[in-house]
């Protein structure tokens, strides 16, 4: 990721400063700009290094630390300050926030909490984390879950090709996580033989850190990273939804864009992924069972606060000869706009799957690839690309 957050820290105690420094050094999106062991010297360090955020531990001298926060806030009113203390009582937190700190963490610092706090500091400093490009709002990060309305609707094909197309942007760092734990085949679709899987990550979750997690993902030639499902079916039981929560938290710090290829079982891990996603792509086809299941899935998701609003229905294989349901009828039945339509190009897609290459390599100019590329751009806030030979009714964006 090119957008690295430059951090300066101050802590007079070696006992607490070194673990904090080691945590920050393990985060790919963080650059440790400066490290200081004296409160009275840190204001000069901040002036010289101009960091994006500062981390101040309070416990060596609570009074001096609060004075430093006040001084930094007065001189650098827009500089985000993260306060850290083992005293996590309400009064200590209130004192730090009143002095000018924007975030407070209780020591010893947990990596996931540190990453979330730094993300909030970045967002608050920059205001809106997106910018405008060619009239479209561009998202700098995205977590998307891809789920099918039934088996065989093309969920994995869309997840794989969507991820590959996103990975072509050099500003993005994209990872695909195969959460179809029993029957996933994202590794086959990309012709990858992984050294590690989600099972290895789960077995080491207690000592999981950024470096181990990054080594667990295999890299595709397209630039995409993949964390595959377990090889042995008996290893599926090792992966719990709380494990996934921690994995996602760490992945979000190293990868700007995450795509989850979910199972059709709506297992606890699937629900965890959807709750942690910015968008849920529900893949369907113009077929009775698929449309009925879309209605059922939307009804269930609407019961959970905020989850139903994340869902975007993507209609796959539009134009297939065996389809006797119109788009208008499907949309009327679903009661929700169809966000995107992917045209039917069964032979091209099958050839790509059988040879283990993405559409970007196998058939970059095909209508089906151009459509998925347009979907990737739309989800990332870019202006959708126009296919070279657009067929009426096949492509839409709402």
Percentage helix, strand, coil for the chain under 3-state DSSP, each rounded to 5: 45, 20, 35
The helix/strand/coil state of 193 is: coil
Is residue 100 over pLDDT 80?
A: yes
Tens of pLDDT, residue by residue over 136-158, are 334 467 999 999 999 999 999 99
Lowest-pLDDT choice from 86-95, 172-181, 351-360: 86-95
pLDDT score for 138: 40
Domains, in order of start, for the chain:
5-126 (3.40.50.2300), 142-379 (3.40.50.300)
Q: What b/e sequence results for 231-270 when a residue is b if at least 16 CB atoms lie within 10 Å of its CB, and e otherwise?
A: eeeebbebbeeebbebbbbbbbbbbbbbbbbbbbeebebb
Choose between 18 and 283: higher pLDDT: 283
Percent of all residues in the chain with a pLDDT value above 90, rounded to a whole number: 64
Choose between 252 and 93: higher pLDDT: 93
Is residue 262 over pLDDT 60?
A: yes
Tens of pLDDT, residue by residue over 286-311, are 999 999 999 999 999 999 989 999 99
Give the highest mean pLDDT range of 26-35, 282-291, 377-386: 282-291
Tens of pLDDT, residue by residue over 5-17, are 889 999 999 999 9
Is residue 133 over pLDDT 50?
A: no
CA distance 147 to 280: 7
Q: What is the pTM assigned to this prediction?
A: 0.71
Is residue 99 over pLDDT 60?
A: yes
Q: In the structure, what pLDDT confidence band is assigned to residue 279 with cuts at 50, 70 and 90?
A: very high
Tens of pLDDT, residue by residue over 233-252, are 999 988 888 788 878 877 87
pLDDT score for 140: 65
The helix/strand/coil state of 43 is: helix
What mean pLDDT is predicted for residues 366-380? 96
């Amino acid at each position: 990721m090119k957008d690295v957050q430059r951090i300066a820290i101050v802590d007079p105690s070696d006992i607490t400063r070194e673990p904090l420094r080691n945590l920050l050094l393990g985060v790919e999106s963080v650059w440790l700009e400066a490290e200081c062991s004296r409160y009275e010297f840190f204001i000069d360090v901040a002036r010289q290094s101009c960091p994006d955020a500062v981390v101040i531990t309070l416990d060596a001298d609570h009074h001096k630390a609060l004075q430093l926060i006040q001084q930094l806030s007065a001189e650098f009113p827009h500089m985000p300050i993260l306060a850290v203390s083992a005293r996590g009582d309400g009064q200590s937190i209130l004192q730090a926030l009143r002095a000018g700190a924007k975030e407070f963490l209780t020591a010893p610092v947990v990596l996931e909490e540190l990453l979330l706090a730094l993300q909030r500091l970045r967002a608050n400093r920059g205001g809106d984390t997106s910018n405008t490009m060619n009239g479209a709002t561009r998202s700098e990060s995205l977590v998307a879950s891809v789920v099918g309305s039934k088996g065989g609707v093309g969920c994995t094909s869309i997840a794989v090709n969507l991820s590959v197309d996103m990975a072509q942007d050099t500003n993005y760092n994209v990872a695909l996580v195969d959460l179809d734990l029993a029957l996933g085949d994202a590794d086959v679709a990309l012709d990858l033989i992984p050294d590690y899987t989600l099972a290895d990550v789960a077995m080491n979750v207690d000592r999981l850190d950024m470096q181990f997690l990054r080594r667990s993902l295999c890299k595709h030639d397209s630039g995409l990273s993949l964390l595959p499902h377990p090889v042995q079916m008996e290893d599926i039981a090792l992966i719990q939804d709380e494990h996934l929560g921690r994995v996602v938290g760490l992945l979000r710090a190293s990868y700007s864009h995450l795509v989850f290829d979910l199972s059709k079982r709506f297992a606890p891990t699937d629900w965890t992924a959807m709750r942690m996603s910015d968008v849920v792509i529900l893949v369907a086809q113009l077929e009775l069972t698929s449309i009925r299941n879309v209605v059922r899935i939307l009804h269930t998701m609407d019961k959970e606060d905020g989850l139903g609003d994340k869902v975007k229905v993507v209609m796959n294989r539009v134009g297939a000869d065996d389809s006797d349901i119109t788009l208008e009828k499907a949309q009327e039945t679903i009661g929700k706009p169809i966000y995107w339509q992917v045209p039917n190009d069964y032979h091209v897609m099958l050839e790509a799957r059988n040879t283990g290459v993405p559409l970007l390599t196998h058939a970059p100019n095909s209508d089906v690839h151009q459509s998925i590329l347009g979907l990737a751009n739309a989800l990332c806030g870019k202006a959708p690309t126009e296919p070279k030979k657009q067929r009426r009714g096949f492509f839409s964006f709402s």
